[in-house]
Structure 1
Amino acid sequence: MPIDRQGPVSRLWPSGGAHLWASGGTSAADSHARGHLVYAARGVLSVHTARGTSIVPANRVGWTPAGFAHHHRAHGHTDMRIVFLPASLARLMPGRPAVFMVSGLAREVLLALTGEDGRGEGASDRLRRVLVDELHEAREQALQLPEPRDDRLRGVARVLYENPADTTSLAGLGRSVGASARTLSRLLHDELGMTFYEWRTQLRIYHALVLLAEGHDTTRVAQACGWANPSGFIAAFTDVVGTTPGRYRSART
């Protein structure tokens, strides 16, 4: 159940529901017998599991399979929608946490399944099938921050989490954790399937989504996340998220 100092505003039923959270609201760690989808109709969600952190902005939907311990965090005032899937549909989804592009149709289905208008279970079953079919055809997105296992990578991650604008080279970061750039590059490839540049970009985009959800402008976010100029940030953000920071921010308000 989501919690914050004011308490969440929630509508819940067996197949899903909606939670309205103040910025910074978090849920207790939990796991469910059914897999579920989460969508932020407003704000940005992060979904945390032992595998890492999935980022769920407006044009994405997050998937957590049954049995995965997880918790959610809201960035900006967030309207979170949740849809539980029966096993017959969940088996068509990945067996690990994932993030997908959400089409216009999928968005409308998510809102319909979690809205206040009552509908029969038969109609809801049909909508859930349409939703899974849309996601099955959608591109899986790399809006995830995998969690490193190696202590040296964890040390580098702490530095960059605390200051995403840090421009220290991999060799320089390696000196602080007692590993060479070559060793860290190998660990990044083996554990996370990423280069250092890709990993740091994902981490910076994650922080950018949070800052944009909190109302900061593009120039301020670019500087805070390590880009020397807004144009470079806009290009990287658009490449990962699929829209410009300005359009994304406008869609959140």
Structure 2
Amino acid sequence: MNKFSHESLSPELIHLLGHDERTPAHTHALGHLVYPATGVLSLVTRDGSWIAPSNRVVWVPAEFEHQHRAHGATDMRVVFLPESMATSLVPHPAVLATTPLAREAMLALTGPRRREKESTERLRLVVIDELSATGEQPLHLPEPHDDRLLAVTKLVEEDLSTPVSLAELGHRVGASERTLSRLFQQETGMTFRQWRAELRVHRALLRLADGMSVYDTAAECGWANPGSFILAFTSLVGMSPGKYQQSLV
């Protein structure tokens, strides 16, 4: 694990990441907001992954071990928060919906202009005020730890295009549907259907970022038709697949 200390040198950072580029696992002494001004960014931890397109921002509390992965060329902006400001946000990693005002404030904080401390603090407060109002977004995919669940999730991830029932998956891994249902709720806080739906949207975000068409993405990720895919995607991401893809250009 690496201990990054960028925050002691500069309060804000810009990282330009290439497609599929990953940072090493690391921690920061300060909580920080990570915003993909372009591209798509994953936050990966031992407890699961969070994914953020350019209309979302990832919150990472202080001392929380994590790594980032870029999907497409990604302009990653990092805004560190002093402890007094960080308490306004949730005590765990989260994806938050950004707003036009929060976006502009984060871009200003990470831009080339040198700012006085008072100016920087005012902009940080604007960002926090905006993000606190939007609330936590459902773009977190929990990572289970039970060996039976891990076997099930691996089978699902290997082929999303052909949905398989939990009963059939249980038969393949040697566990009952009832046991697996209980474990999914216990370890991820979701039902199996909810977890799989979240995984499908995560996969769709990445495929669309790679330039795959909406129709082909729907088929690969297991939706029966593009219409149901568009509805599910829009409800979680906040924009249609087409608009999301246009925002990456």
The range that moved more, 62-71 or 175-184, is 175-184
Matched, 1:71 2:67: yes
Q: Please give the per-residue CA displacement for 1:3-60, whole angstroms capped at 9, x wherever unaligned.
A: xxxxxxxxx9521211111100000110111111111111100001122100111111
Which residue of structure 2 lines up, in the alignment, with residue 43 of structure 1?
A: 39
In the TM superposition, 1:107-126 aligns within 5 A as 107-126=103-122
The range that moved more, 120-129 or 162-171, is 162-171
Query: What SS class does the counterpart of residue 176 from structure 1 fall into?
Result: helix
Query: What SS class does the counterpart of residue 15 from structure 2 fall into?
Result: strand
Q: Please give the per-residue CA displacement for 1:121-171, whole angstroms capped at 9, x wherever unaligned.
A: 210111001111111111210101001021111111112222222311101
Which residue of structure 2 lines up, in the alignment, with residue 28 of structure 1?
A: 24
Which residue of structure 2 lines up, in the alignment, with residue 85 of structure 1?
A: 81
Q: TM-score, normalised by structure 2?
A: 0.94
Cα drift, residue 175 of structure 1 = 1.3
Which residue of structure 1 lines up, in the alignment, with residue 170 of structure 2?
A: 174
Give the residue type in structure 2 aligned to 1:218: V
Give the residue type in structure 2 aligned to 1:235: L
Matched, 1:128 2:124: yes
Query: What SS class does the counterpart of residue 28 from structure 1 fall into?
Result: coil
1:51–1:180 Cα change, 3 Å: same
Query: What SS class does the counterpart of residue 73 from structure 2 fall into?
Result: strand
How many Å separate the matches in 1 of 2:19 and 2:160?
20
The range that moved more, 190-199 or 160-169, is 160-169
Which residue of structure 2 lines up, in the alignment, with residue 5 of structure 1?
A: none
Alignment root-mean-square deviation, CA: 1.2
Give the residue type in structure 2 aligned to 1:138: T
Q: Which runs of 5+ in 1 are unaligned?
A: 1-11
1:185–1:132 Cα change, 3 Å: same
Matched, 1:223 2:219: yes
Q: Which runs of 5+ in 2 are unaligned?
A: 1-7
Q: TM-score, normalised by structure 1?
A: 0.93
Query: What SS class does the counterpart of residue 26 from structure 2 fall into?
Result: coil
Query: How many residue pairs get matched?
Result: 242
Residue identity over aligned pairs, in percent, reads 50
Q: Please give the per-residue CA displacement for 1:204-235, whole angstroms capped at 9, x wherever unaligned.
A: 10010011111111011111111121111111
Which residue of structure 2 lines up, in the alignment, with residue 163 of structure 1?
A: 159
Q: Please give the per-residue CA displacement for 1:160-193, whole angstroms capped at 9, x wherever unaligned.
A: 2222223111011111211111111111111111
Runs of 4+ deviating beyond 3 Å: none
